[in-house]
Amino acid sequence: MMLAPAALRAENLSDFFFASAAAHASLPVQRRRQGSGFSSITYREAAEQVRCFAAGLTLLGVRRGDRVGLISENWDRWLLADLAILACGAADVPCSSRLTGEELAMTLAHAGCRFILVAGPEELARVSRMRRHLPGLVEVVDLSDGRDPRHTVRSFSELSEAGRTALDQGRLPEGFPAPNVGRGDLATIVYTSGTTGRPKGVMLTHGNILSNIAAILTIIKIPEGESLLSILPSWHMYERTVEYAGLGAGAEIVYSSLRTLKDDLRQVRPGFFASVPRLWAGIHERAMAAIAEAPPLRRRLALAAWSAGTRAVLARRVLAGEPAPGNGPQRPGKLRALLEYLAFTPILHLVTRRLVFRRVRAATGGRLRGALSGGATLSMDLDLFFEVVGLRLLNGYGLTETSPVLTCRRFSHNLPGTVGRPLPGTEVRIVDEKGGDRPAGRQGRILVRGPQVMRGYYRDPEATAAVLDREGWFDTGDLGRFLASGDLVLTGRLKDTIVLANGENVEPELIEERIKSSRYVDQVMAVGQDRDYLAVLVVPAFAELRSWARRHGRPDVAPAALAADPEVQNLMRRQVARRAGSGSGCRPAEVVKKVHLLPREFSVDDGTLTPTLKVRRAAVLRLYRREIDDLFR
């Protein structure tokens, strides 16, 4: 059963949820770990919890048009609280609990939050410390039901019980829930990660998000009762909209964490799983590491099966007439492709998938129908690996400002190296510096228009006018090109473009993705602005390096010592040269001349990653200024 007709006609997200809950009342909607097992609730029970908590918030004073802060990581009550805020007619302001105190205070103050919901004593204490910076704050609510004698606040259960009593007695405002809220009303203000500057508050309406849900469900058919594993932060629009889509389809959302993900995948056996390339890369790295650690004979057989599998897949792509995006492995000609397809396809199905990589599929539960990837560029190597394994990833593209999905690959048209075709109702243009349309195959700036495009940036008309014109075209700031097939290929970020001293432009993301295809590379950032050549900072995959060191009889040492080891540095230079050196197929300007190994990874804690794990390039440039200067001496 797909989206219920009443939900499809909904004018706001609250009505959308309650209509879907009525249509799927007896089905499970949320499941989370509790002790050694799982606890779950049905759509009927979730609707009752949302209605009662929303009534409690209304009694507290939450009204239509209010902004309500929501500080929490991913768990079931995040979604219930979000839906309850929307049922009050208010807009929520979701925040990561990993923001610094200063970032959190600035966000909540800028949004003018009158109420704040937190997920436990730790966040409660943080809000208490910043309360003097929040003059409009009326009340704080603890979603966790935890008792902290230092803070007297109301809990989720207390407010829900008060709301239940008010509902029974008919003591709520007329029109509850979602009084007179329409598609044009504000649903949420999501503050961007701020990789290049001060975060901005993205205003998304009920109509923005509802249109994205409907479009997603037309191309990704989620069956009623299917399980959808949730691992990404709910405050990120990618995860949030996927969860909304799951609600519309009558699916069950199962909450996981990085700590329990391995066990959850095996026990839950989800049908759909949305994640980011970093997680898919981790699966790839562990699979290849297992081969590298295998006894010699078994390792040689596994590598031979892998080679046969990749040749069969590349041959299939040629014979299917799939256009080559131009940034992947070299393909054979048609005659050779036919011969290799006939020779290696039986090995792919009988050996590579059934014997060598069966554990990879088993590790994801063994019944994954939709492996969704978004939030960052997916490398061609990962695409190839998962197709060989037998798991086709559906890669997509979008931004917070677009609710978020703009394009997505389809099950029936899943072209590697691309982010697919635009969603129904979404227009995408590739333009040159003067705003003229570029033909297919030519790179340019990506402009988009559609019902999912934001209203604007909250209290920032200048920033809004800079990216959103009067005709509704939004300038994404991204670079890309269309293939003749109508599929979009991302090629970089306009603000990240490196201009060398000779005036050549280099898009660092493409170079970085090539280098990250090495199992010995965890993170990488290209540098070279106004310099004579390109260089890279590389964070090695230290677990892989330790395995390499053991195989070569070298001592097991700390990451800093590994990064300083001359033999390790030579290994890493060879890895980079193979992918971005003079004989790698890169343009001369894209050739990486020097490499510096970093002893620790980029992280949220040191400010080099955003809470959504994107590299803050300016922060990296500041932190490693001396090392970067040394690369160009």
In contact, 211 and 451? CB cutoff 8 Å: yes
CB-based contacts of 297: which residues, under 8 Å, 6+ apart?
Answer: none
Q: Give the pLDDT score at 147.
A: 67
What is the torsional sign of CA 612, 206, 117, 68?
A: positive
Tell me the Ramachandran region of residue 231: left when phi exceeds 0, alpha when psi lies from -120 to 50, beta otherwise: alpha
Q: Which of 493, 509, 526 is the last residue of a domain?
A: 493
pLDDT in tens, 176-225: 887 889 999 999 999 986 555 578 999 999 999 999 999 999 999 999 99
CATH of the domain at 226: 3.40.50.12780
Burial pattern 409-438, b for ≥16 Cβ within 10 A else e, equals beeeebbbbbbbbbbeebebbbeeeeeeeb
Helix ranges restricted to H, 403-498 = 461-467
Q: Give the pLDDT score at 5.
A: 62
Percent with pLDDT over 90 in the chain: 70
Residue 79 has which token pair?
A: 């979604």
Tell me the backbone φ, ψ of residue 474, rounded to 5 degrees.
-105, 130
State mean pLDDT over 343-371. 91
In-domain check, residue 260:
yes
Residue 237 has which token pair?
A: 């629009």
The 3-class secondary structure across 152-175, one letter per residue, is CCEEHHHHHHHHHHHHHHCCCCCC
Q: Which of 493, 527, 556 is the last residue of a domain?
A: 493
In contact, 583 and 524? CB cutoff 8 Å: no
Instruction: Of 111, 74, 36, give the one whose Cα is nearest residue 275.
Output: 74
Comparing 188 with 2, which gets the higher pLDDT?
188
Comparing 147 with 576, which gets the higher pLDDT?
576
pLDDT in tens, 52-77: 999 999 999 999 999 999 999 889 99
DSSP per-residue string spanning 256-293: --TTTHHHHHHHH--SEEEE-HHHHHHHHHHHHHHHHH
CATH of the domain at 353: 2.30.38.10
Euclidean distance between CA atoms 629 and 181, whole angstroms = 55
In-domain check, residue 214:
no
Q: Give the pLDDT score at 431.
A: 97
pLDDT in tens, 5-50: 666 789 999 999 999 999 999 999 999 998 888 999 999 999 999 9
Domain membership of residue 413 as a residue range: 277-450+469-493
- Among 72-81, 108-117, 316-325, the minimum mean pLDDT is found in 316-325
Residue 557 reports pLDDT greater than 90:
no
In-domain check, residue 253:
yes
In contact, 447 and 516? CB cutoff 8 Å: no
Instruction: Of 27, 66, 56, give the one whose Cα is nearest residue 44.
Output: 27
In contact, 569 and 536? CB cutoff 8 Å: no
Residue 423 reports pLDDT greater than 70:
yes
Residues 487 and 501 in one domain: no
Q: Give the pLDDT score at 380.
A: 85
Residues 142 and 60 in one domain: yes
In-domain check, residue 438:
yes
Q: Within 13 Å of residue 323, how many CA atoms lie on the same side as its CB? A: 14
CB-based contacts of 472: which residues, under 8 Å, 6+ apart?
Answer: 449, 453
Cis peptide before 599 (omega within 30 of 0): no
Residues 143 and 282 in one domain: no
Burial of 237 (0-12, 13-18, 19+ CB in 10 A): buried
pLDDT in tens, 371-412: 899 987 788 888 999 999 999 899 999 999 999 999 999 999
Residue 318 reports pLDDT greater than 80:
yes
Euclidean distance between CA atoms 129 and 135, whole angstroms = 13
In-domain check, residue 201:
no
Q: Give the pLDDT score at 1.
A: 44
Residues 432 and 290 in one domain: yes
Residues 488 and 565 in one domain: no
Tell me the backbone φ, ψ of residue 534, rounded to 5 degrees.
-100, 140
Q: Is 410 helix (H, G, I), strand (E, B) or coil?
A: coil
Instruction: Of 35, 341, 15, give the one whose Cα is nearest residue 177.
Output: 15
Largest CA distance in the chain: 78
Q: Give the pLDDT score at 150.
A: 65
Comparing 7 with 586, which gets the higher pLDDT?
586
In-domain check, residue 285:
yes
Q: Within 13 Å of residue 141, how many CA atoms lie on the same side as its CB? A: 29
State mean pLDDT over 112-128. 93
Mean pLDDT of the chain: 91
Instruction: Of 501, 428, 525, give the one whose Cα is nearest residue 195.
Output: 525
CATH of the domain at 531: 3.30.300.30
In-domain check, residue 378:
yes
Residues 307 and 438 in one domain: yes
Euclidean distance between CA atoms 155 and 144, whole angstroms = 7
Residues 418 and 512 in one domain: no
Cis peptide before 588 (omega within 30 of 0): no
Residue 239 has which token pair?
A: 């995860």
Euclidean distance between CA atoms 391 and 136, whole angstroms = 50
Residues 90 and 137 in one domain: yes
Residue 317 reports pLDDT greater than 80:
yes
DSSP 379: P
Residue 130 reports pLDDT greater than 60:
yes
Neighbours of 282 (CB within 10 A): 15
Residues 510 and 473 in one domain: no
The 3-class secondary structure across 473-531, one letter per residue, is CEEEEEEEEECCCCCEEEEEEHHHCEECCCCCEECHHHHHHHHHCCCCEEEEEEECCCC
Euclidean distance between CA atoms 389 and 348, whole angstroms = 9
DSSP 589: G
Q: Give the pLDDT score at 31.
A: 96
In contact, 32 and 75? CB cutoff 8 Å: yes
Q: Domain tally for the chain?
A: 3
Q: Give the pLDDT score at 475.
A: 97
- Among 173-177, 179-183, 327-331, the minimum mean pLDDT is found in 327-331
Beta-bridged to residue 42, according to DSSP, are 28
Instruction: Of 524, 545, 519, give the one whose Cα is nearest residue 535.
Output: 524
Residues 396 and 318 in one domain: yes
Q: Sheet containing 186-191: give its strands across.
A: 154-155, 139-142, 115-118, 67-71, 91-95, 186-191, 201-205, 456-457
In-domain check, residue 427:
yes
Residues 107 and 234 in one domain: yes
Q: Is 117 helix (H, G, I), strand (E, B) or coil?
A: strand
Residues 482 and 530 in one domain: no
Q: Sheet containing 592-597: give its strands across.
A: 521-527, 534-540, 592-597
| One-letter amino acid of 167 | L
